[in-house]
A and B are shown apart, each in its own frame.
Chain A
Amino acid sequence: MMALQIFLLSIFLYIAGALLSLAMNKSEKTANYASAGCAILASCAGMVSAVPVLAGGTGFMVETAGIVPFAKFAIKMDPLSALMILVISLLTLATAIYSLSYQQEYAGRGIGVLGFLNNLFIASMILVVTSDNAFYFLVFWELMTLISYFLVCFEHNKKEAVHAGFIYLVVAHAGAVLIMISFILFYLQTGTFDFSSFRSANLSPVIKDLAFVLAFFGFGAKAGIMPLHIWLPQAHPAAPSNVSSLMSGVMIKTAVYGILRVGIDFLGASVWWWGLTVLAFGAVSAVFGMLYAMGENDLKRQLAYSSIENVGIILMGVGVGMIGIAGGQPVLGALGILAGLYHLINHAVFKGLLFLGAGSVIYRIHTKNMEEMGGLARQMPWTGFAFLTGALAISAIPPLNGFVSEWFLYQSLFLASTTGIPAVKVVSPLFAVMLALTGALAAMCFVKAYGVAFGGPSRSDRAREAREVPGPMLAGMLILAAGCAVLGLGSPVVAPYLAHVAAAMQGTAPVRVSAGLLVFPGSSSQAMLSTSVMVLLLAGLLVFPLLIVGIQGGTKAGRRVDAVPWACGYSFTSRMASTSTAFSQPLQVLFHPAYRLRTILLEAGHRIASMAGKSVVYIERMDSMWERFIYGPLARSTIRLGQRMQVIQVGNVRWYCLYIIVTLVVLLTATVR
């Protein structure tokens, strides 16, 4: 019972931190310490309550009558919930430490309110992943959406933030409606809102399909799968960076949790095409998410697009797992889910880290545009180091954590193409190819992010004058950077816990995935991977170049650090260095159908103006094809429909009276009959 008390303590601390912060809004420093301090303690309590369950404990469940007559308030901690709590708490710990200093960026703009919203946001996420009743799940889901909406719009004097918040709210609610309908389908069958009865619900196949598809798209809208991703690249960058970190790191994962809950826990992943659908949407999101991330010059937007990619990779794992369960292959099921969950943790850690890194840059130079950064690794060496770690991890560079989870995904796809049903066998290798393409694109994208923002010459005066960020912010980032290394090198320790979670979801015995320093996909004859051996060998092999240089007397020759890069004899200026736009240009040409390039040349007589030495403004903007082919027409036709309907608004009171009477008559005849 201890675990339950600690869990409740953690929720209590979040809420206490929120209220204290709000109460002390006048004194911003105290408010900030109160909210961050409570969040740190609460996240530690959350981890303490979750770890025993992951380590093989039984979990707990509490029920009370609740405030509404038709639904019980139930909290349940099973291994999947425990994993989610662990991930949320881990990221909360890092962002809370980070925000001790970072919140000063918002001094005078209501730090107390920010802390209040932030703590409630985290509490609502934790309650979403532990609720065991559909009604309260939706209440907390909605709370999470609303609070994050306020956080997105926190800088409400910025037009783009308000616009982003609006789109977010619309898409999130469209998704919530789908989830509600899905739950109502369960309710109609079982007569209660309890998840425990949903699990044993005996739905007809058609209703099952419908419930799954509705839940998938409902949660998918929140997870940011293509083509429902439209809100994500706008909303995540608009929020303060510590909140972006939480939104990208864990909030979109609650949607993955929802898909796992409904698809596997309630419906038992009984039909193979569900898994294939999830896999396909995941793969498309992964490839296109990364393509659009490539085209961005805004550091935070780029990170947001790459969240779409990573959610895609997580869903690919989930999809393979569902295919495995549907086909009665527990090993494939476990491997797929393991790959998905592993990437879920990894993405929380490295995306959290990268958003915090972006926040540090913004904290110092107050711009999100990469082309105004440059050379920051010299002024901010620790931030640069942490960001590079995150960039390496997200590009799936061995031996860091991103590689391990993608490796498991490759192995599960390999297993699916040897033992799956024919349709799955045929397509699985093609999904592996899409994963490879995603990996290559991610590497290119993050070479660009680090190389343009942190490498090369300083591209603006503000970048030249940047300083390292304060200690707490560094601590927050370095915790997550260490997390990338630990989750990568410690894969033989981490993987069995995830296999345990996967086994608990399937109700089978755990698959063996590790021995000693090795991890393997069920059987070591299929493949082996040992990131720790890799690191040992790499470190050992570094002896060769050092020895070669040493023996040949290379160090004696010394090093001269005064030169500027060669520029064909002209004097070098920082504007000559490669830019973000230039770096991604080959891909914009190669994959041009996916983009919509808009170039604008301001000033009508630009030719003459440029000859006369006047400055000419050139703007290049890139939109995605989804905006062009889906959302543009959708928005336009909605407006057109609205304009048609305006016809009945004549502005004459007598007409309106007539409408009321007609409506009354229609309603009366409909009910009396």
Chain B
Amino acid sequence: MPGSTLFLIGLVQAVLVLLAAPLFTGLSRTLRAKIHSRKGPDILQDYRDILKLIKRQEVVPAQAGWVFRATPYVLMATVLLLAMMIPILTLQAPMGLAGDLIAVVYLLTVFRFFFSLAGLDSGSIFAGIGASREMALGVLTEPAIILVLFVIALLSGSTDLGTISQKVAAGAFSYSSPVVWLGMVAFAVATFIETGKLPYDLAEAEQEIQEGPLTEFSGRGLALLKWSLGIKQVVVIALFLAVFFPFGSAAALSFSSLLISMILFLLKVAFCYVIAALLENSMARLLLFKAPAVTWGVFGIALLSFVFYVASS
């Protein structure tokens, strides 16, 4: 495909994720209310919240430096870049030339870095605790994520996400192989942790530490941050789908195939959100120091997948 077309597809992906993210976070809220037997907000509430917040005056603590003010913008640009680099509509990574899966994992670290730095910069104690937890969680999950992705990349012979999607969609390796399904389980749990859903919303725990690094944000900063957090959830799920379930994404380039893959993508993400909602609402909060038990488990599963890979190669 020519570069300009790929760039356009990338842009469409970014806009799609940007527009759809509040819908999914809204869906998450609606489902949560349903499971709690509450009436709850309707599915479009998050759009209204964000638009309203943008119009509100921003209150900034006097302590905060420019990092605090720039962070909402940096974070949104970063997650949108991720949306352009991950194969969402096609089996090719639209901006695959900007970077491969390692770049994608490290861009997720950029998000974490600035999110947590803004928390420390605000001077709030809640934000400080949240910042610390956010980075600690990264330390716990990143090794497992890299290991799974590395094994899948080894199976595909390339660390390019597009190549991986194409191989998986072409049925190059079967799901019955323990390498793949163990990797999938590990990556699914890691994705769930990365989305910051309830047992792992350690950094932005509303009930416990006032949404952590978000504590001091308000007005347009808060709106952009909430939006970016929503986009990050969708992007992380899109990464999971691109590596393990790329089916339906357009192999050739035509308007109808792109439209079908767009609808399929939205359905797949919605399905993931439903499962996440069920998990999220059936679990209690997790103590911070209980989290490693789970993440070590995830790493163990990823390691097992790697061992099967070694044994089979």
What is the interface of chain A, defined by CB distance below 8 A to chain B? Answer: 375, 377-378, 381, 384, 388, 392, 395-398, 403, 407, 410-411, 414, 417-418, 425-426, 429-430, 432-437, 439-441, 443-444, 447-448, 450-452, 454-457, 518, 525-530, 533-534, 537-539, 541-542, 544-546, 548-549, 552-555, 557-567, 572, 574, 576-578, 582-587, 589-590
Contact = CB atoms under 8 A, between A and B. Distances in A.
B135 A447 contact: yes
B151 A456 contact: no
B81 A534 contact: yes
B310 interface: yes
Nearest to A540: B77
A529 B154 contact: no
Nearest to A388: B67
A398 B107 contact: yes
A456 B110 contact: no
B55 A564 contact: no
Contact of A557 (B63, B73, B122, B220): B220
A30 to B, nearest CB: 39
Interface string B119-144: 11111111111011101101110110
Contact of B73 (A542, A564, A576): A542
B129 A528 contact: no
A549 B143 contact: no
B98 A530 contact: yes
Contacts of B72: 545
Given A525-B160, A534-B98, A565-B61, A582 B142 contact: no
A461 to B, nearest CB: 16
B120 A541 contact: no
Contact of A533 (B95, B122, B136, B292): B95
8 contacts: A403-B103, A437-B139, A441-B139, A447-B131, A448-B120, A451-B131, A457-B123, A545-B77
B123 A577 contact: yes
A99 B84 CA distance: 45
Contacts of B153: 414
B99 A586 contact: no
Contacts of A586: 132-133, 136, 288-289
Contacts of A578: 120, 125, 127-129, 131-132
Contact of B67 (A377, A436, A529, A545): A377
A158 B59 CA distance: 47
B300 interface: no
Contacts of B80: 541, 544
A585 B132 contact: yes
Given A396-B106, A549-B224, A541 B77 contact: yes
Size range of the interface on B?
A: 35 or more
B98 A537 contact: yes
A583 B131 contact: yes
B159 interface: yes
B1 interface: no
B214 to A, nearest CB: 12
B150 to A, nearest CB: 5
Interface in B268-294: 288-289, 292
A443 B112 contact: yes
B215 A447 contact: no
B67 to A, nearest CB: 6
Interface string B74-93: 00111011001000000000
B219 interface: yes
B57 A395 contact: no
B147 interface: yes
B239 to A, nearest CB: 15
B146 A432 contact: yes
Given A577-B128, A586-B132, 6 more contacts: A398-B110, A429-B306, A436-B146, A455-B68, A563-B60, A583-B131
B18 interface: yes
Contacts of A435: 146
B236 interface: no
A414 B128 contact: no
Interface in B184-242: 210, 215-216, 219-220, 223-224
Contact of B65 (A378, A395, A414, A545): A378
Given A395-B113, A558-B58, A564-B62, A544 B150 contact: no
B21 interface: no
A560 to B, nearest CB: 5
Given A414-B150, A537-B95, A455 B121 contact: yes
Contacts of A552: 51, 54-55, 220
B151 to A, nearest CB: 7
Contacts of A565: 61, 63, 122-125, 127, 215-216
